[in-house]
Amino acid sequence: MNSIVAATGLIGGKTTAQVSDAYPTLVTPAGYVFSIWSVIYVLLGVFAIAQALPRGYARVYREKIGWLFVLSCIFNIAWLFLWQFELLPASVVVMFLLLSTIILIYTRLEIGRSTVKPWE
């Protein structure tokens, strides 16, 4: 969804960059910095596929974060639509909801408090 929105302007009639350029700030990074999202979305796809596999280790993650992960994906898509239609106050609210789900995922996985064993 993000790739379609960013590259085509199919939603809202503008690309993500065009909307961003309409609201310049002191903290907006250079355009090339956003290429990191390609890596993030590829890894997100790998994670989603790994969770769909019938191995036992994936079940542990699904049980801890399943509905939160789905909710974060829904918030991400909602944010894209709100941003593309330049509904900025609503997009900020959804951004904080997205952040909240990511924080909950982080705490449920006990990141930083336990040893991560991704292949058990």
Q: Domain map of the chain by residue range?
A: 2-108
Q: What pLDDT is stored for residue 18 in this prediction? A: 83
Q: What pLDDT is stored for residue 94 in this prediction? A: 97
Q: What pLDDT is stored for residue 54 in this prediction? A: 74
Contact 7, 35 (CB under 8 A): no
Q: To 10 degrees, the CA torsion angle through 9, 12, 90, 2?
A: -30
Contact 40, 2 (CB under 8 A): no
**Distance, CA of 2 to CA of 33 (rounded, Å):** 15
Please give the average pLDDT of every successive group of 10 residues along the chain, which has 120 residues.
72 81 84 83 85 72 84 92 92 96 90 65
Q: What pLDDT is stored for residue 35 in this prediction? A: 81
